[in-house]
């Protein structure tokens, strides 16, 4: 009896085992038929910005297709409550990117163009099929990122959970096969899922103040006029006691120094008087104050003027200073009293140089004068102002 029971039991196990073994072998075959799409490999979608709600964003889709001939593809995007699994339920709320205004360029297929496009989806069709099996790139421009508020699992205060998903499906024909929706993808050739995430922004601000340091000095000032600045008191004349006469053109020098961050440059102007005696006699501006200088000053012909030399590094700093043409001369001078912006007290001052942003701009100003035989005796003085105006 026991033997009979054992034999029956053994046979039962035997048939059960055979049955299960059969199921074990057949099952893969049965399941294979239900999901025959290959997976695109080495896939990613890179956004040009992950900022939530950003517009004009570029999505660069990179993937390696299986090599099976395809001519159209669909990109679906599902919100943070969905998954990237092709064919699974896909919620396309506002928490997905918007492709309504997107444009496309691609290395994949020939003349890949956008078909239907909108919130969470863009369909693309090539003019010819592709059997590429190497890495391909599709660039989607002018995409709008989902906002934080629209992403249901996105925590606005911490920026956590702002993930959403992309899915790609390729099709052999140009009309997306039997694709119906993100959860009914039809006879896709290749599929793949992506995860993407938006994030909040780290914003840092800082302020740089407008700066302009300017000085006039008898000696060449140091960088930023911090040292080397002496009173710009000049004496024109020769002999003892020092005096002007008709035998020579006498000169003396002063400097201006400038440091600025004015990216619209600094204009340096000069305005003041010609040499004037207490009794109001004057030594006139060179060439009657003409505006087309520079002009020569000839000993014995009363004249007053100023020039900046022409040698960079010697007459003015190697960088930052450009003398105005009528004051740029190795030997000749100007003192404009006729232009609208002349260097008399009534004008705004005559431009003598332009300074670009520099830490150590300087120029040497050569003042010169001579007296005529008829020039009245007296102590002549001139008072000049240097004006620096920065444009920021």
- Contacts of another protein in 84-103 (CB under 8 A): 84-85, 87-89
| Least Cβ distance, residue 207 to another protein (angstroms) | 5
What is the residue-wise DSSP string for 155-200?
-TTT-TT-EEEEEEEEESSTT-TT--BTTB--S-SEEEEEEEE-B-
> Which residue in 206, 280, 340, 346 binds another protein (CB under 8 A)?
206
> Which residue in 2, 5, 24, 313 binds another protein (CB under 8 A)?
24
| 392 binds another protein, rule: CB under 8 A | yes
| 209 binds another protein, rule: CB under 8 A | yes
How far apart (Å, rounded) are the C-alpha atoms in residues 251 and 272? Answer: 17
Angle at 94 between CA 89 and CA 95, to 5 degrees: 70
How far apart (Å, rounded) are the C-alpha atoms in residues 337 and 293? Answer: 11
Structure tokens at 323: 């003398």
| 13 binds another protein, rule: CB under 8 A | yes
**Closer CB to another protein, residue 35 or residue 310?**
35
Candidate segments 20-28, 109-117, 296-304, 307-315, binder of another protein by CB under 8 A: 20-28
> Which residue in 70, 275, 302, 358 binds another protein (CB under 8 A)?
358
3-class DSSP state for residue 89?
A: coil
| Least Cβ distance, residue 233 to another protein (angstroms) | 29
| 234 binds another protein, rule: CB under 8 A | no
Beta-bridge partner residues of 51: 199
Candidate segments 81-89, 112-120, 122-130, 292-300, binder of another protein by CB under 8 A: 81-89
Candidate segments 99-107, 113-121, 260-268, 300-308, binder of another protein by CB under 8 A: 260-268
| 10 binds another protein, rule: CB under 8 A | yes
Structure tokens at 379: 């102590």
**Closer CB to another protein, residue 200 or residue 220?**
200
| Least Cβ distance, residue 370 to another protein (angstroms) | 40
Task: Please report, as residue ranges, which positions from 325 to 344 form the binding site for another protein (by CB under 8 A).
Answer: none
Structure tokens at 275: 């040499």
CA dihedral 336, 338, 343, 347 (to 10 degrees): -170
**Closer CB to another protein, residue 105 or residue 201?**
201
Structure tokens at 201: 């922004």
Nearest to 153 by CA among 202, 89, 95, 77: 95
How far apart (Å, rounded) are the C-alpha atoms in residues 96 and 343? Answer: 67
> Which residue in 260, 328, 332, 337 binds another protein (CB under 8 A)?
260
Size of the residue set binding another protein (CB under 8 A): 77
Candidate segments 41-49, 232-240, 341-349, 367-375, binder of another protein by CB under 8 A: 41-49
- Between the CA of residue 115 and those of 56, 74, 174, what are the distances in Å? 19, 9, 10
> Which residue in 111, 203, 240, 383 binds another protein (CB under 8 A)?
203
| Least Cβ distance, residue 71 to another protein (angstroms) | 24
Angle at 382 between CA 333 and CA 321, to 5 degrees: 45
Buried b (16+ CB within 10 A) or exposed e, 61-98: bbbbbbeeebbbbbbbbbbbbbebebbeebbbbebbbb
How far apart (Å, rounded) are the C-alpha atoms in residues 388 and 362? Answer: 12
| 214 binds another protein, rule: CB under 8 A | no
Task: Please report, as residue ranges, which positions from 131 to 190 form the binding site for another protein (by CB under 8 A).
Answer: 156-163, 165, 183
| 32 binds another protein, rule: CB under 8 A | yes
> Which residue in 55, 116, 131, 391 binds another protein (CB under 8 A)?
391
> Which residue in 138, 196, 266, 274 binds another protein (CB under 8 A)?
196
| Least Cβ distance, residue 42 to another protein (angstroms) | 7
| Least Cβ distance, residue 201 to another protein (angstroms) | 5
| Least Cβ distance, residue 327 to another protein (angstroms) | 24
Structure tokens at 194: 């992506």
**Closer CB to another protein, residue 263 or residue 381?**
263
Contact between 165 and 196 under an 8 Å Cβ cutoff? The reply is: yes
**Closer CB to another protein, residue 21 or residue 325?**
21
How far apart (Å, rounded) are the C-alpha atoms in residues 213 and 215? Answer: 7
Structure tokens at 82: 């969905």
């Amino acid at each position: 009896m026991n033997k009979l029971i054992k034999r029956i039991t053994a046979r039962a196990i035997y048939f059960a085992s055979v049955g299960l073994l059969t199921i074990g072998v057949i099952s893969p075959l049965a399941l294979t038929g239900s999901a025959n799409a290959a997976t695109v490999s080495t896939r990613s979608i890179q956004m040009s910005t992950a900022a939530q709600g950003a517009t004009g964003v570029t999505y660069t889709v990179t993937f390696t297709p299986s090599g099976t001939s395809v001519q159209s593809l669909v990109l679906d995007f599902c919100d943070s409550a969905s998954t990237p699994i092709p064919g699974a339920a896909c919620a396309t709320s506002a928490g997905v990117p918007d492709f309504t205004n997107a444009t496309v360029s691609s290395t994949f297929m020939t003349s890949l163009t956008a078909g239907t496009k909108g919130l969470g989806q863009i369909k693309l069709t090539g003019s010819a099929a592709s059997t590429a099996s190497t890495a391909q790139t599709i660039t989607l421009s002018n995409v709008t990122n989902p906002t934080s508020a629209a992403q249901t699992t996105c925590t606005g205060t911490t920026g956590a959970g702002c993930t959403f998903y992309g899915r790609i499906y390729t099709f052999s024909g140009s009309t997306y096969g039997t694709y119906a929706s993100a959860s009914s993808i039809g006879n896709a050739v290749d599929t793949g899922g992506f995860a993407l995430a938006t994030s909040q922004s780290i914003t840092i601000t800082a302020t740089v103040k407008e700066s302009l340091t300017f000085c006039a000095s008898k000696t060449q000032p140091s960088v930023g006029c911090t040292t080397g600045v002496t009173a710009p008191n000049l004496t024109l004349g020769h002999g003892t006691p020092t005096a002007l006469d008709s035998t020579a053109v006498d000169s003396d020098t002063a400097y201006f120094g400038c440091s600025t961050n004015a990216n619209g440059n600094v204009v340096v102007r000069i305005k003041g008087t010609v040499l004037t005696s207490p009794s109001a006699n004057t030594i006139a501006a060179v060439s009657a104050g003409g505006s087309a200088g520079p002009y020569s000053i000839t000993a014995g012909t009363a004249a007053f003027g100023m020039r900046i030399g022409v040698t960079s590094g010697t007459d003015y700093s190697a960088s930052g200073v450009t003398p105005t043409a009528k004051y740029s001369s190795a030997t000749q001078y100007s003192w404009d009293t006729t232009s609208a912006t002349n260097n008399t007290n009534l004008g705004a001052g005559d431009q003598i140089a332009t300074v670009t942003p520099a830490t150590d701009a300087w120029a040497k100003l050569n003042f010169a004068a001579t007296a005529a035989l008829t020039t009245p005796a007296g102590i002549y003085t001139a008072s000049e102002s240097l004006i620096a105006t920065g444009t920021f």
